[in-house]
Chain A
Amino acid sequence: MSAVADTHAQEHHHGPAKGISRWLLTTNHKDIGTMYLVFSFAMFLLGGTMAMVIRAELFQPGLQIVQPEFFNQMTTMHGLIMVFGAVMPAFVGLANWMLPLMIGAPDMALPRMNNWSFWLLPCAFLILVSTLFMEGGAPNFGWTFYAPLSTTYGPPSTTFFIFAVHIMGISSIMGAINVIATILNLRAPGMTLMKMPLFVWTWLITAFLLIAVMPVLAGVVTMMLMDINFGTSFFDASGGGDPVLFQHVFWFFGHPEVYIMILPAFGAVSHIIPAFSRKPLFGYASMVYAVGAIALLSFVVWAHHMFTVGIPIAGQLFFMYATMLIAVPTGVKVFNWVATMFRGSLTFEAPMLFAVAFVILFTIGGFSGLMLAIAPADFQYHDTYFVVAHFHYVLVPGAIFGIFASAYFWLPKWTGHMYDETLAKTHFWLSFVGMNLAFFPMHFLGLAGMPRRIPDYALQFADFNMISSIGAFMFGVTQLLFLLIVIKCVRGGKEAAAKPWDGAEGLEWTVPSPAPYHTFATPPEVK
C-alpha cells in the first residue's frame, strides 16, 4: 500500500505530457474538463449556425433560402446538437474541472474512464453531423424524433443517428458514474454531505438522473432500430404496435433530461450570487431539498408533453397536478436567490450579470412552464411557438447563461488571468438584448396561433418573426465575442489572485491561480 502511495507522490511532480498525446491520453481532470468545454463551445457554434439558417428562412413569409426538407434537418440537428453536444458536455466539463477542486480531491475517481467518456463524444458527433452529407439527408423528424415519422418514414441516415445516440448515452452514463464515485468517495475529511458546495450537490443529483434515464433513451432508440431494420413493430400500429408508446418512453427520458440541463446551473448560480452579494447563500438546506424534490418529481410528469395525444382524463389530471407541484421547489430556489441578494453588498461583474439575468429570465421561463402545466390551456399552447419561447427561456438564459456565468467566475482559476471585464460586460448586454429580442416575441407568435417547426407561415406572423430573427442574429454573432474573450484570457491579462473574488467561498479558491496540474495531493481538512 505504501509503495503504491510512493509512486503516486512521485508522479505528482510531472507536468502534462507534450504534444497531442497530452490530450489524447490524458487522465487529468483539468485537461479533460478543458476538452469538454472546448468541444461544447464548438458544438454551440455549430448548433447556433443551424439556428441562424432557421431564423434566416423565417425572416419573411415564403420560402427563400432553404427548402422544407432541409429546414426540418436544421431544426432537428440544431436541437440534438444543442442538447447533447453543447449544454450537457459543458456541464460535464465544469464538473470535471470544479468537482475535485471543490471537494478537495486530487482528481476524478475513475480517470481512465473519464478520458474514454470524453473521446466517445467527438466520435458520436462526427457520425451525427456526417448524416448531413448522406443521401436522403440528416434526420428531419425533430429532436424528439416521434415514431412513425422517424421509423417507417425516416431517412436512411436514421440508423446512423441511432448509433450516435447510443455512443453519447454511453459517454453520459460513464461521466455520471464518475461524478457519483468521485463525490461519494473522494471528499476531503470533514466534508459531510450537508457541507458540500451546492454545485457538488446539484451534480450529484444530476448524475443520478443521468444514470436513471440515459438507458431509457438507449432503449427507445434500440426499439426504433429494431422497427427500422429487423421487422419489429414496437411503434407501428399496422403490426400491432403503438406510436404513442414511443412518446411515453421518450418523455420518460426527456423530462428528467431537461432537469439534467438545468440543475448544475442552479448549483453554479448558488455560488456566484453569494460571492457577488458578499453574503452567505440563503437557505442552503432548503436549496438541497428543493433540488432533490425537483429531481424526484421529474420522473412523474412526463406526460405533460403529451396532453393532446388523447390520454385518459385521470392521467391528464394526475400529470397536470404533478407538473404544477414542481413550481413549489422551483419557487423556493428563486426566493432563496433573491433573499441572498437582499441586503447584501452587491457588485456586478460579468459572472453576477449572467447570474442575475439567469434568475430573472429563468423565472420567466418557469412562469410560461406553469402556464403550460394547466392542461386545458395546453391544448392551445401545445406545439406552438409559445412552447418554443418557453424552452428557449429556460435553456438559453437558464442553462447557457448559467454556463457563461460559471465560465467567467472560474476563468481566473483556470487560466491564471483575469478576463477583459469590459468585453465580458459587452458580451453580456448584447446577449441579453439579443436573446430577449429573439425569444420574447415567440410567446406572442404562439398565442396568436403559429405552430412550431414550420418553414413558412401565414402573413399575420410576419412582423414578430422578423424581430425574432434580428434578435437571433444579434445573439448569434455576439457569441464570437466570447471566443475572443476566452482566447485573450488564456494568452494573458492581469494576473489572477488565488481568490480573485472577495466574496467567493470554497476550497477551489485555496489553490493558486492558475490551478496547478495536480491539486490536493494531500486532502485539505474541512471544519
Chain B
Amino acid sequence: MTKQLILDNVTVQFGGLKAVDGVSTAIAMGERRAIIGPNGAGKTTLFNAITGVVMATAGKVVFEGEDVTRSPVHARAAKGMSRTFQITNLFPNLSVRDNMRLAIRGLSRAKFSLLGRPELTAADDAEVERALGLSRLVGRSDTLVKELSYGEQRQLEMAMALVARPRILLLDEPAAGLSPAERVIVADIIRSLPRDLTMIIIEHDMDLALGLVDWVTVLNNGHLLVEAAPADIRGNKAVQDVYLGKARRHA
C-alpha cells in the first residue's frame, strides 16, 4: 500500500528535553492509526511536528513523497493536512457559520476576495451543511462559538476539519472532557468519515481509540515503544508495563 506519511527518525528537542526521540513510522493512504501512550509520552508534540506547529529538531517528515520537514503550518495545511486540537482552538467571537466559512475557504482563492460578498457558493454551502449535519450541529449556524457547549465545540472542530478537504486528518484527543453520551456522538462522527480518508488519532480512551483504527503506535517518553494491530495491543507486555507499571502487573 502507498505510504502517505513517512516519519523518519523524527526528533523534537526543547532545551535539554527530547519530547520526541527518533520516532520512525509510515502511514498508508486510507489507514486509520491511533497514537497512544501515557501523559508526557510525546503524542501531541509528534502531531505538532507532523503539522508544523513545531519544527522537528532532527529527522524528516515526508508527506505524499514530499519532504515537508521545514514547511510552515499553512503550507502543510494547503497540502491536505487537517487537524483538531487537544484544547479546542476555534474562533470564539465568530458564529458557527463564520467558523465554517473560514475552514472551507482556507485552501481556496476566495479568501483573498477583498470586496466580494461574504456568502459561500452554493456548492460550498451544501458541503458546510453536510458537515454540520454529520457533526450534529444543524440549526446552530448563527450561534456564537463561545455560546456553544464544550461538546458542541469539539463537534465543530470535527466539522471544520472535514470541510477543509483533508487528505489526512489528525485528531488530538477528540473525546477529551466529553460526557459518555457526547463520546458516542464523536465516535459516530469518526466512523462516518469517508473510508479512504487517512486518519491519525490521539486518544486516552483506549476502548474508543482501539475500536476505530487499523493500527496502533505506542509512545513512551518520546520513544516509539511498539506498533501493532489493536487486538494485539491490549495483551502486549510492554504496553501493560507502560500503562500499569511493572510491579502492579506482577501483583
A, B co-complexed: no
| B residues at A contact (CB < 8 Å) | none
